A and B are shown apart, each in its own frame.
Chain A
């Protein structure tokens, strides 16, 4: 790819990442949450993968850790679900007491984002690699 594309991708990458994290963390207050935040973060990674040779991206980010991160995030979501079911709390009270922090929605958003982002990056990486 062209030098302009490569340089622009490298400059834009942290901003895209920051935007995705912003959407995730505000998921309990504004539209968004886990899924769109994860997709945006994955778009940032996909931009890097398409602009540069994928071997460089692999060398920088090392694909195996993506699969580990996805499964750990999956465990996290399961833990949250079981937490919700076991305690059978009235979630409105929990959320109101924690106020702006968002209660159980915030860890759910974060785990969901990690899962979606890692999944999409693995998919894009595998398809480009062929």
Chain B
């Protein structure tokens, strides 16, 4: 194509990086400016992402070669429908998280907002990456910013969570680097489109490489054997960052999808059985462990682990039998919306009560009914109650697993029942046995994102055709012929 389309969303990454530096510099003299810089830069990132969304809908794939170096030699930044859908959601929820943090974070604001901007740079960079080197660097930026955010509160829980998360996560990133080394040894290039061209299916190393990548990215996405860091990390970090951790896990899931759809052609079917087995274990372990929690942040962390398991189940079925990708993408969108809604409600609760233990919350402050309804809608969306968005995507998952293996449908239904169990438990303890007399007003900057997300849940529930349309738009363009052609400028 001869026409040059500017990729606006890449400038969003640069603007967020500049805002991280600006917050660090200006924050030395004046501390109060930091939140405004973060809110302004995430809003700008959102606007630029929506501009690129319009471009991608018109032109199907948008690429940009940095510095004028052509494709196999230079750094390529690619936005195809899979990336742009996830990027739009990440940019929106990032903006909401900045708004919620405005009232939540009271002390050491400069540190918080610098790390917040850096973690957004990391997530957006992973979504834009067109070659493995960029992917690796942005995953590292994301990880290092998150290690610092987990240790934010500097008490026993945060420090212990941070050191354990750091050690495990560095090992996982080392495994990703090892698999990049193997890919380089096999093909001689690091550009994703070029790897797709040069990688044959005959090599025996391919399942090993894909297994290493699944381990490394599965760690970031909190799949089951690698999920142990997530509850501790979410407990140690400030509450709005819990929503950002959900987005980071979805970036890990995106990386696995990108590896699978664009780069690799695995013909060894046992890998797909492995994916389905892991996803079933993830759903079950997440739901069962969430039942025993007394701390709202740990409960929500296990809930998000369980929901990512659903996404992987749909992905595994799709890989094995050819349909099911639509359910995976649609459920990914829904998980981002309702899990962030739950974390923002938890942020309001913790802000009012001063602690994240559910029994302490129920005894300290009495909240307005709006918060109760929002939390309930979030939980019911996670369960999959009709008229909310979780129902539509989970229904597609039930139908696809029914065609393939009815045992999986039974397991998915059972996990939904378990989700209902811990959702009702959380709601009951915090809202219905509330024994305090003190009322609290919810700050408006925390209320508006919660209400917008509730409206999104209900809207996608009543009108799921929109969600299915978006997912099909993504799935139709997943074949990597378009990707490779656009990157090489054909």
Q: Do A and B bind each other?
A: yes
A60 to chain B, nearest CB (A): 20
Do A67 and B68 have beta carbons less than 8 Å apart? no
Is residue A59 within 8 Å, beta carbon to beta carbon, of the partner chain?
no
**For residue A75, which residues in chain B have a CB less than 8 angstroms away from its CB?**
18, 21, 25
**For residue B17, which residues in chain A have a CB less than 8 angstroms away from its CB?**
78
Is residue B185 within 8 Å, beta carbon to beta carbon, of the partner chain?
no
Q: How far is the CA of A75 from the CA of B21 in the complex (A)?
A: 7
Main secondary structure on A side of the interface with B: helix
Q: How far is the CA of A71 from the CA of B24 in the complex (A)?
A: 7
* A85-B18 contact given A64-B28, A67-B24, A68-B25, CB 8 Å threshold: no
Partner of A81, one of B14, B64, B68: B14
- In this complex, the member of A84, A85, A88, A90 whose beta carbon has the largest number of chain B beta carbons within 10 angstroms is A85
Chain A 100-125 residues near chain B, CB threshold 8 A: none
**For residue B68, which residues in chain A have a CB less than 8 angstroms away from its CB?**
88-91
Chain A residue with Cβ nearest B17: A78
**For residue A89, which residues in chain B have a CB less than 8 angstroms away from its CB?**
67-68
Count, chain A residues at interface, CB 8 A: 16
* A85-B21 contact given A64-B28, A67-B28, A78-B14, CB 8 Å threshold: no
Chain B residue with Cβ nearest A85: B66
Q: How far is the CA of A89 from the CA of B21 in the complex (A)?
A: 26
Q: How far is the CA of A75 from the CA of B28 in the complex (A)?
A: 16
Is residue A82 within 8 Å, beta carbon to beta carbon, of the partner chain?
yes
Is residue A32 within 8 Å, beta carbon to beta carbon, of the partner chain?
no
Is residue B69 within 8 Å, beta carbon to beta carbon, of the partner chain?
yes
**For residue B14, which residues in chain A have a CB less than 8 angstroms away from its CB?**
78, 81-82, 85
0/1 string, B11-23, CB within 8 A of A gives 1: 0001001100100
Q: How far is the CA of A48 from the CA of B65 in the complex (A)?
A: 45
**For residue A91, which residues in chain B have a CB less than 8 angstroms away from its CB?**
67-69
**For residue A81, which residues in chain B have a CB less than 8 angstroms away from its CB?**
14
Is residue A36 within 8 Å, beta carbon to beta carbon, of the partner chain?
no
Do A71 and B67 have beta carbons less than 8 Å apart? no
Q: How far is the CA of A84 from the CA of B67 in the complex (A)?
A: 5
0/1 string, A23-60, CB within 8 A of B gives 1: 00000000000000000000000000000000000000
Q: How far is the CA of A71 from the CA of B17 in the complex (A)?
A: 11
Chain B residue with Cβ nearest A76: B21
A28 to chain B, nearest CB (A): 15
Do A78 and B18 have beta carbons less than 8 Å apart? yes
Chain A residue with Cβ nearest B7: A85
Q: How far is the CA of A59 from the CA of B10 in the complex (A)?
A: 43
Q: How far is the CA of A85 from the CA of B68 in the complex (A)?
A: 8
A71 to chain B, nearest CB (A): 4
**For residue A85, which residues in chain B have a CB less than 8 angstroms away from its CB?**
10, 14, 64, 66-67
**For residue A64, which residues in chain B have a CB less than 8 angstroms away from its CB?**
28
Do B67 and A74 have beta carbons less than 8 Å apart? no
Supply 29 A–B pairs (Cβ within 8 Å), ascending by A.
A64-B28, A67-B25, A67-B28, A68-B28, A71-B21, A71-B24, A71-B25, A74-B21, A75-B18, A75-B25, A78-B14, A78-B18, A78-B21, A81-B14, A82-B14, A84-B66, A84-B67, A85-B10, A85-B14, A85-B64, A85-B66, A85-B67, A88-B65, A88-B68, A89-B67, A90-B68, A91-B67, A91-B68, A91-B69
Known interface pairs A67-B24, A75-B25; 13 further A-B residue pairs with C-beta atoms within 8 A, sorted by A's residue number: A68-B28, A71-B25, A72-B25, A74-B21, A75-B21, A78-B18, A85-B10, A85-B14, A88-B68, A89-B67, A90-B68, A91-B67, A91-B69
Give the 8 A-B CB pairs with smallest separation, nearest first. Answer: A71-B25, A74-B21, A90-B68, A88-B68, A84-B67, A71-B21, A71-B24, A91-B67
Which residue numbers of A lie inside 8 Å of B, CB to CB? 64, 67-68, 71-72, 74-75, 78, 81-82, 84-85, 88-91
